[in-house]
Amino acid sequence: MISDPHILELHAHFPNLQGETENATSKLYMSTINILFIGDIVGNAGLDAVRLFLPSLKQQRDIAFVIANGENAMEGKSISEKQYLELRELGVHIVTSGNHIWEKWHIKKLMAAEAELLRPANYPRDNAGHGYAIVPIGAAGSVGVLNLQGRTFMSPIDCPFRTAEWAVDRIREQTPIILVDFHAEATAEKIAMGWFLEGRVSAVVGTHTHVQTADAKVLPGGTAYITDVGMTGPYDSVLGMRKDIALRRFIKQTPHKFEMATDDVHLSAVIVTVEVPTGKAVSIEPITLPEFTRDAE
């Protein structure tokens, strides 16, 4: 209900304007928060990019909440306790993951102990770790983060759609501000998840394929969407791995030990702006730091 005397006076003179000013006024009073989501951090080079860019990004873009996918931080496979703690220290509220998180033995213990380190919720339930978290952020309430993994061209784990339904219903009992990291290979499965959760979550962002896609948008129901946020790591590589070794694997069709690349490091992320009382996304902005040079060097 509007109580501003200037607007009430305006309504008295121009009754036709009443609806329009009510809409404009409610928009004016609606507050928003900026949430930063950092795509798959690959190796120490990726962590360097987070160290370098996160502090200034937080300040310059008024970031209230940070999520980062850490499945590849430890030489491409999983995340060490030290790396996880450093990310938290740098201001990352929630670390999400995916298929590679399981590739080191220590991770089960770490995930069982740390509620802020997520694994996809649709891995069979008796696995270690948590698939979602709800984090208080002061006056703006709390933010829910849900991690899911696709099944197309990946392990046949539990249904991500049914798991999403179950988890989102539970999270929405506490907050409408919900970000989903959908760690999946197939573009179609990711787009389908965006439409499945449209209007029920603030954002569905894709991870795992390590290349930022050009389809960031807010779906009509107020859900921000991007098929893949992209990799935070070395781009003089094949998805973070040394080019020569990746080529050998393709050409010889036999196993060759992967090693991390180190050069041309970029941070890939999105900033999602969300209305606080409703959880609806206002915008999604893809970021690459430093930006890629498109001219020949």
Exactly one of 72, 78, 149, 268 binds Fe ion (CB under 5 A); which one? 72
Is 16 strand, coil or helix? Answer: helix
* 266 near Fe ion, rule: CB under 5 A: no
Q: How far is the CB of 210 from Fe ion (least distance, A)?
A: 6
Are 157 and 184 contacting, i.e. CB atoms less than 8 angstroms apart?
A: no
Question: Cα angle vertex 283, ends 278, 285, to 5°?
Answer: 140
Number of residues that bind Fe ion (CB under 5 A): 6
List of E strands, the chain: 32-38, 63-69, 94-96, 132-136, 142-149, 178-183, 203-207, 217-219, 223-226, 233-234, 265-275, 281-289
The phi and psi torsions of 65 (rounded to 5 degrees) equal -155, 135
The residues in 18-47 that bind Fe ion, with binding defined as CB under 5 A, are 40
Q: What is the per-residue binding string for Fe ion in 220-259, x denoting contact by CB under 5 A? A: ----------------------------------------
**Integer Cα distance of 174 and 168 in angstroms:** 10
Q: How far is the CB of 184 from Fe ion (least distance, A)?
A: 9
DSSP state of 273: E
Question: Cα angle vertex 95, ends 94, 101, to 5°?
Answer: 155
Q: Which is nearer to Fe ion, 239 or 271 (CB)?
A: 239
The residues in 158-217 that bind Fe ion, with binding defined as CB under 5 A, are 208
Q: What is the per-residue binding string for Fe ion in 73-112, x denoting contact by CB under 5 A? A: -------------------------xx-------------
Are 50 and 90 contacting, i.e. CB atoms less than 8 angstroms apart?
A: yes
Q: How far is the CB of 280 from Fe ion (least distance, A)?
A: 29
User: Which of 11, 13, 100, 208 is flagged as catalytic?
Assistant: 100
Q: How far is the CB of 138 from Fe ion (least distance, A)?
A: 32
Q: Which is nearer to Fe ion, 98 or 206 (CB)?
A: 98
Q: Tell me, yes or no, if 100 is annotated catalytic.
A: yes
Q: Which residues are at the interface with Fe ion (CB under 5 A)?
A: 40, 71-72, 98-99, 208
The residues that are catalytic are: 100
